[in-house]
Amino acid sequence: MQRDSGRHRHDLRAIARRAMIERDLLPDFSSAVMAEVARSQAATANGAPGARDLRGLLWCSIDNDDSRDLDQLTVAEPMGGGTVRILVAIADVDAAVAQGSATDGHARHNTTSVYTAAAIFPMLPERLSTDLTSLGEGEDRVALVAEMTVNADGTVGAADLYRGVVKNRAKLAYNAVAAWLDGTGPIPDRAAGVTGMEAQLRLQDQVAERLRDVRHHHGALSLETIQARPVFEGETLTDLEVEHPNRARALIEDFMIAANGAMARYLAARGYPALRRVLRSPERWERIVELAAGLGASLPPEPAAVALDLFLAARRQADPLRFPDLSLAILKLMGRGEYVVELPGQTAPGHFGLAVPAYTHATAPNRRFPDVISQRLVKAALASRPAPYTNAELQTLAQHCTEAENQANKVERQVGKSAAALLLESRIGQPFDAIVTGASPKGTWVRILRPPVEGKLVQGADGLDVGDRVQVTLMATDVERGYIDFARGTARRQLPPTPVGDWGPQTDACLRS
């Protein structure tokens, strides 16, 4: 029996809350947190002695259309000879969230904002994340600034970190900026209204391309997975809309990767510990080699990022329609990212997918607690104070942040499954083309191509592995539990949804900055 479509959002929100609680994540803020937030004020220049006044620069933010928790601003300044100075301003969340406070405790417990199909469970209360600690348009805000010199060949030269007072001149959105850069749309009104912003954005785009070229030369992977966003008409879920990569998203990603690397190097150079984000060599490289061989390509027997990226680039050109499927298979085979502690004098593993040896998470402190930790470490280094955490505390936090992030991913995935089940519940018995996205002792998972929905293969899984293409039949759905069951080939018998607790391996979000 199908659900009342007028309650889709309500039902999904209830499912999301239950999923949060089941995975030991807090869906609500305590009264102690809300009392603290009511007393909070935005950080101003008066509370940041020595901060540089950078409000005269052409700062802008580029984010999703509906984002209000703005973590970073960017600006570029030509220096002559093809060299450009890039500045990334990062919201100073630590200035409003005291270490050890109730608000800090909530953020430390969840470690991340959780984005589900029907509701967002922010890491920080909205009065902070969308106002007092957000780099909102027209607001004077104290920020942590990463300044980097990008040479004409795309290499990063000198870098520095300091506190500054900034003002967002234009709140821009990815899709509108990308359309304008591609020549398929007009310059966004907010950019057109600021003298010099058009040239500013084009310069940022050019520098981002240089940074990207250098990373790909070193083996940064050219992956493109399908990210589906739920579409509601009122309270009714009507579709899953695919979000495509674009130049504006790539611009911000490249700048954030550079800033995160600069912060990691800054801490190491000053003898401070760091919370690194790492992705080790692929766990199942031999299967990646097999996938490449099946497509007529040869990869070396040992993990090699440059060779893998060349293969991916060739496949993107040869078969762009199926490239997201291949990307998803590679991601699943690479394994998950994790947080590790790099102590002074030690060298932590690098990030295989981004092809950077030194990388942290520091550019989204309104949304991720590891970024708040990194911010506090950098501010301590700037002031020549002792690190705000002991090495033992950092080790515990690294493990907790990894585990909590995985639980948050599972909540998002579970609610996404429930949303997908809502769309498919009227299509039992229909055939679909699919790709195998997970294979483990827990079972085999497939993703159908239209709509982009994943489920468990409950019949005919023998002999299949990640990356294989099959035709499947939808057998059953369960919206409450987010179960979607498929059978290989043509099947007529409808089965009850399979009660499994884990819907397979996650797509690691660590490739996004």
Q: Average pLDDT of the chain?
A: 90
The two tokens of residue 322 are 């199926």
Cis check: omega of the bond before 451, within 30 degrees of 0: yes
Handedness of CA 36, 140, 159, 254 (dihedral sign): positive
The two tokens of residue 445 are 């998972």
CATH of 425-510, one of 3.30.465.10, 2.40.50.140, 3.40.640.10, 1.10.10.10: 2.40.50.140
The two tokens of residue 17 are 């809350």
Question: pLDDT digits over 244-268, tens only?
Answer: 889 999 999 999 999 999 999 999 9
Three-class HEC string of 171-202 = EEEHHHHHHHHCCCCCCCHHHHCCCCHHHHHH
- In the three-class reduction of DSSP (H, G, I as helix; E, B as strand; rest coil), residue 250 is classed as helix
Eight-state DSSP code of residue 345: T
The two tokens of residue 292 are 């490449």
pLDDT of residue 508 exceeding 60: no
Average pLDDT over residues 445-449: 87
pLDDT for the residue numbered 46: 65
Q: How far apart are CA 330 and CA 483, in angstroms?
A: 24
- List the end-to-end C-alpha distance of the chain, in Å, as a whole number: 42
pLDDT for the residue numbered 425: 86
Rounded to 5°, the CA angle 302-304-305 comes to 155
Average pLDDT over residues 472-478: 94
Question: pLDDT digits over 321-346, tens only?
Answer: 778 878 888 988 988 899 999 999 88
Q: How far apart are CA 60 and CA 44, in angstroms?
A: 19
Cα separation values, 401 from 107, 281, 371, 381, Å: 10, 21, 11, 22
pLDDT for the residue numbered 66: 85
Please list the residue range(s) of the chain that carry CATH number 2.40.50.140: 425-510
Residue 203 CA, chain-centre distance (Å), reads 25
Nearest to 13 by CA among 28, 2, 1, 30: 28
Residue 232: how many other CB atoms lie within 10 Å: 15
pLDDT band, very low/low/confident/very high, at 47 (cuts 50, 70, 90) = low
pTM over cut 0.85: yes
- In the three-class reduction of DSSP (H, G, I as helix; E, B as strand; rest coil), residue 157 is classed as strand
pLDDT of residue 182 exceeding 60: yes
What's the residue count for the chain? 513
Q: How far apart are CA 126 and CA 59, in angstroms?
A: 23
Q: How are beta strands 274-278 and 236-243 bridged, if at all?
A: unpaired
